[in-house]
Structure 1
């Protein structure tokens, strides 16, 4: 197996994407050092400790993004650090964006990387960024544009529009890239879209909460009704390939499909007519082209095979039902 005898670190391991990463790394026989904010919170640790292979090859470490040096013991002896820990808070509800979003994203990334730079066994860092660090440029997007890895969000534009989450991801990625260049660390960046799919953790994360609102009531997540969707298992696969493939480099946009909410409603209505979404997708202008697409080329060259949207949506609903977050 690919990971036999290899030690890697996953930061923010109790999160939605990171929990899946820990699961799949253990499946591939990696030894995993996983960081969580509190070892005393079973909601953050229990689902990780119960994964197959956890008893033999998973160690949990307590670490805090804004506390310098708190990642030292977790990264020690690792060949790769998957830095995933970063707060996800909707821009509209952030009272203090600097303290709640920007500092943890920027200082947290630098704290992890400073510790990683001291590790002689380290071969690569894989940083989880976001399509938020790609989409918000100075110039407006042209209709039909193909968004790819050469696009970068502009911090000033994000600040002017009070897009605090995109700003935090943009600055966090910038800080990581600059630091790794200076220190000669091999860095690969993964920029996922809006992540859906089954959840492993026992509590709802922000994205799953939004998705649940959309499924249950049709409440829009994005005001324009345009969704850059990707399955959590594809995102995790991209992270693992970004480490295992020596040719991996730069950044990778990981978006399965850009679609309208009316298309999502159509799929929900097909499998779960009891939700009563048929009116909603009829209201949406069916078949209208999306204003842009995101290139899958670089991610597919890396080896990412994208899950069909219908499968992701169905698996999301079934997972939320299984955990009793949705009942119908």
Structure 2
């Protein structure tokens, strides 16, 4: 059976990738920071087929030797692990840029050393859209790259870390004849497999509590009615598997299903869950940016996505089951 390594296996998106790989018959090597942390990783052991085909390895992104051990014998790697800020960071160089960039370098070098066939790197829509030089009337696609200098000057550290590490990964692949593909998801909502709320689902939790606080500095303009690009975590996992399995996949893929204003999202949530206390009186964004992008390249690879209503209903269901919502 083919072996695939998933970095940061206990995370929100990575857990769904592990679940889908196991369901399709793969053997999975998952890297985690702490093998004994049941709160963060215990849910992985409960997945169907985990007992027979899931093997967890202790390794973080800065542990090159540990990554080599985890990746050894694998045909492919899906690199999901990344530091995500909860608001403003004290030392962006140490907390965001270094772990993401050095970590991706370590993963790429480990893949080269262990003779991996294919690597799928999870980047971000924020590695695409933060480009003030992009023509306003031109649809954003995979040819658009965020301006890393602009991101750092604007203190968009997650954005900067993603665009720099994605560029390096794709260039490393070309230079070393390693098949590297990048998938760039937007804000990921949907059901959780673990009991700990992730950065993006905290957005929903905050809205239910009457706070328009995005917990992600790339979006966090608390009183403004900003555009929110959304993709379901299950559709994101599906995109990653398509990028891995399809021999024709190449380059980068924009992965986002829905785009709506915060006020529109709040109204949809009100219709579905009327008994919560939602934020009111949001003003129009001073930046007035309407993100106009296309996911045509990913759709041509065979991708499709769920309705936003299904995503939101399933998000709330699992948050309630985890005791995060009344």
TM-score by length of 1: 0.91
CA offset at residue 323 of structure 1? 0.7
Distance in 1, matches of 2:289 and 2:273, equals 25
Q: Is 2:24 the counterpart of 1:24?
A: no
Gapped regions of structure 2 (runs ≥ 5): none
> Runs of at least 4 residues of structure 1 off by over 6 A?
282-285
For 2:32 and 2:277, the matched residues in 1 are separated by 39
Evaluate the alpha carbon distance shift between residue 59 and residue 81 of structure 1 in structure 2; reply closer, same or farther with a 3 A threshold: same
Equivalent residues in 2 for 1:231-310, closer than 5 Å: 231-277=232-278, 280=280, 291-310=290-309
Give ranges in structure 1 of 5+ residues lacking alignment.
none
Report Cα offsets for 1:197-252 as digits up to 9, x if no partner.
01111212222222211233242423252101110011100000001110111000
8 A contact 1:7–1:80 mirrored in 2: yes
Q: In structure 2, do the counterparts of structure 1 residues 283 and 114 end up closer, same or farther at CA, with 3 Å as the change threshold? A: closer
- How far apart are 1:103 and its partner, in Å? 0.8
Structure 1 CA distance, aligned partners of 2:43 and 2:108?
A: 27
Find 1:158's aligned residue among 129, 151, 165: 151
Moved more, 25-34 or 170-179: 170-179
CA distance in 2, matches of 1:324, 1:196: 17
Q: Is 1:133 paired with 2:127? A: yes
Equivalent positions of 1:1-328 (< 5 A) are: 5-90=1-86, 92-120=87-115, 122-139=116-133, 142=136, 145-221=138-214, 222=219, 223=221, 224=224, 225-277=226-278, 280=280, 291-327=290-326
In 2: Cα distance, 1:22 partner to 1:213 partner? 28
Cα–Cα, structure 1 residues 140 and 152, in superposed 2: closer, same or farther, change >3 Å?
closer
Report the Cα offset of residue 44 of structure 1.
2.3
Q: By how many angstroms is 1:67 displaced? A: 2.2
How many residue pairs end up in the alignment?
315
Output the aligned Cα RMSD: 1.8
Q: TM-score, normalised by structure 2?
A: 0.92
CA–CA separation in structure 1 for the residues paired with 2:289 and 2:130: 17
Secondary structure of the 2:243 match is: helix
